[in-house]
Amino acid sequence: MLKVKNIEAYFGKIQVLRHVSLHVETKEIVSLIGANGAGKTTLLNVISGLHPSRNGSRVFVDVETRGLRPEKIVALGLVQVPETDKVFTPLTVRENLELGAYLRRKDAAALREEMKRVFGLFPILEERQSQAAGMLSGGERQMLALGKALMSDPKMLMLDEPSLGLAPTIVSEMFRVVQSLNRQGKTILLVEQNARETLRISHRGYVLDMGRIVLSGTGEELLNNEEVKRAFLGRDYRQKWER
C-alpha cells in the first residue's frame, strides 16, 4: 500500500533521515521503533507531506506523493494522527469529529454514517459529544484523535505514539483498539516507544537508529532479537568475552 524509498530529510543542515526505505502492505500493522530523536516522527511527517525530503520516493497506492500538499495526501486516504496537539481543545468532541471529515463535508449522509461508526468504536465519545475536547482525559483525547482520523475513512493510518502519556490500563486498551481497527481492514503504520506492546500486535516492524533503518523483521522476530531487547525492552547485557 505504501512504499517509501531512499528518503532523506534535514532540519536545517542536520540530516535526520538517511536513505530510509520501507514498505507497508495492505491490512498490515507495521511498527517503527527507535529511540528519541531517531527520526520516527520526521519520517511520518515526510510521508504526510508536512516535512520536505530532499530525495527519494514515496508511493501510496500507486501514486507518487512527493511534492503533493498534505491535504491531497489525506484525500488519497493516508491520515496521520500526530503525537501532540491532536485535537482542537476549545471545540466540542462532535465538532472535532466533523473537522476530521472536512474533505467529505458535503456528503452529510456519509458523515453521519461515519460518526455512528466512530461512536460505536468509542462509546465514551458519544456520551461526551457536546463537551469541549479540552475537558477530556488523556485516554479520551487519544480516542478522539483516532476517531477524528477515522472520520475521513482513510485506507491507512499513521499513528505517532498513541500510548504516550497514557495510564498503563489505558495503554493496553489503546493497543486493543489499534488491533481491532486493523481487523476491520485498516492498514496501520505505528510509531511507538512502547516497543514490547507494539511489536506484539505488529505483523512487521522496522528499527530506526540515527536516521537509518538498522533492523527489520516480523513482530515476533524483533521481539526476540537481542539488540531490540537491549535497546528497547530493558535487558542488560555483557559480552561473553568480557571478564
- List interacting residues with other proteins (CB under 8 A): 3, 5-6, 8, 18-19, 21-23, 55, 212-217, 221, 224-227, 237-241
Of 90 and 241, nearer to other proteins (C-beta) is 241
Closer to other proteins at the Cβ: 65 or 225? 225
Question: Among residues 160, 148, 164, which one has the least CA distance to residue 31?
Answer: 160
Q: Which three cell numbers stand for residue 152?
A: 475521513
6 or 129: whose CB is closer to other proteins? Answer: 6
The least CB distance from residue 100 to other proteins, in Å, is: 32
Buried b (16+ CB within 10 A) or exposed e, 38-62: bbbbbbbbbbbbebebeebebebee
Q: CB of 225: closest distance to other proteins in angstroms?
A: 7
What CA–CA distance (Å, rounded) separates 106 from 4? 32
The residue among 59 and 75 lying less far from other proteins, judged by its C-beta, is: 59
Least Cβ distance, residue 67 to other proteins (angstroms): 19
Task: Tell me whether residue 24 or residue 150 sits nearer to other proteins (CB atom).
Answer: 24
Tell me whether strands 55-60 and 2-11 are parallel, antiparallel or unpaired.
antiparallel
Q: Three-state DSSP class for 87?
A: coil
Closest distance between other proteins and the C-beta of residue 198, in Å? 19
| Backbone phi, psi, residue 19, to 5° | 25, 65
Supply the minimum distance, in Å, between the C-beta of residue 237 and other proteins: 6
